[in-house]
Amino acid sequence: MLHKEAIPAWPFAIMKSHPWLWKLRKSCIVPPVGVLSKIFFEYLSRSQVFNREALLELVGNRADGEGLVTVSNHYSCLDEPVLNGMLNWRHLLSPDVMRWSPAAHDICFTRPFHCWFFTSGKCVPIVRGEGVYQRAMNFLVERLRRGDWVHLFPEGRVNTEHEHLRLKWGVGRLVAEPERTPTVLPYWHLGMDAALPNRPPYLPRPGQTITVLVGRPLTLAAEVARLRRRGASSREARRTVTERVQDELERLRSRAEQLHAARLAS
């Protein structure tokens, strides 16, 4: 089993030590990956996104300093980055606009080139078992304080059996801790595990039906403020926010499954 030492050094130190090099690196990775994702999702798949406008509005038109947390289920290793293909071209070609996303350090950061690639693609190494206060989570909280976009798969793993899993509390920390509470936007998708099955030979399959249902934005600032006023512990705040997000995802799941079934039958 790999441990945190598999990451030789914190990969985002370059943002402060060599900002020009960091800008070059992300410009070399984020737009090309976005282009490939757009081609596969929109042109090589039978995809449909319901309420897409809510996502586009929050990604492209937030106020300065307003963070965004998007959350979704995780059914395939291709979910990230292919689902980003539902964005507009101008978003995909802008490294500063695109999301930050945690990624398993023991899968994506085990070799120097992998570390370079995923870091340049704005993926942050999460160490399983180190909890909500590990360095990657601290980094993501800081990005949200600066008004960036963070995408999470709060189930914590690829859910190959489509189970009803309890969400990890990391999403609660990311929403509850920043002084300016970020907006949360949930969405549920189906069909990605047909586009890349979770079994050998793990090859993409164009032409599959993919359905995405984007939910309503969750503005939790008032609820977070109430928790702070009554002196709720950080643990209680994380749990409360996570439960709100879980409830909304479950609501979306039911409707998304209906929409997807109807599309498969048509």
Query: Per-residue confidence at 9, pLDDT binned at 50, 70, 90?
Result: confident
For the chain, how many helices (H) and strands (E)? 12, 7
Burial of 97 per CB tally in 10 Å (0-12, 13-18, 19+): middle
Whether this prediction's pTM lies above 0.85 is answered by yes
Beta carbons of 178 and 144 less than 8 angstroms apart:
yes
State the DSSP string of 129-170. Answer: TS-TTSHHHHHHHHHHHTT-EEEE-TT-S--TT---PPPPTH
Residue-averaged pLDDT of the chain: 96
Name residue 258's amino acid: Q
Query: How is the beta sheet containing 183-190 ordered, strand by strand?
Result: 46-50, 209-214, 183-190, 68-72, 149-152
Least confident of 6-15, 55-64, 124-133, 194-203: 6-15
Q: Taking CA 37 as the corner, what is the angle to CA 34 and CA 41, rounded to the nearest 5 degrees?
A: 140
According to the model, what pLDDT value does residue 227 have?
97
pLDDT digits (tens, 9 = 90+) for 146-182: 999 999 999 999 999 999 999 999 999 999 999 999 9
Q: Going by C-beta distance under 8 Å and a sequence separation of 6 or more, which residues neighbour residue 225?
A: 181
Give the class (CATH, top level) of 10-265: alpha beta
User: Residue 226, exposed/middle/buried by CB under 10 A (0-12, 13-18, 19+)?
Assistant: exposed
Task: Report d(CA 244, CA 255) in Å as an integer.
Answer: 17
- Confidence grade of residue 135 (pLDDT, cut at 50, 70, 90): very high
Q: What sign for the dihedral angle of Cα 217, 252, 151, 36?
A: negative
With bands split at pLDDT 50, 70 and 90, how would you rate the model's confidence at 2?
very low
Q: How far is CA 255 from CA 48, 188, 260, in A?
A: 14, 9, 9
Q: What spatial distance separates the first Cα and last Cα of the chain, rounded to whole Å?
A: 46
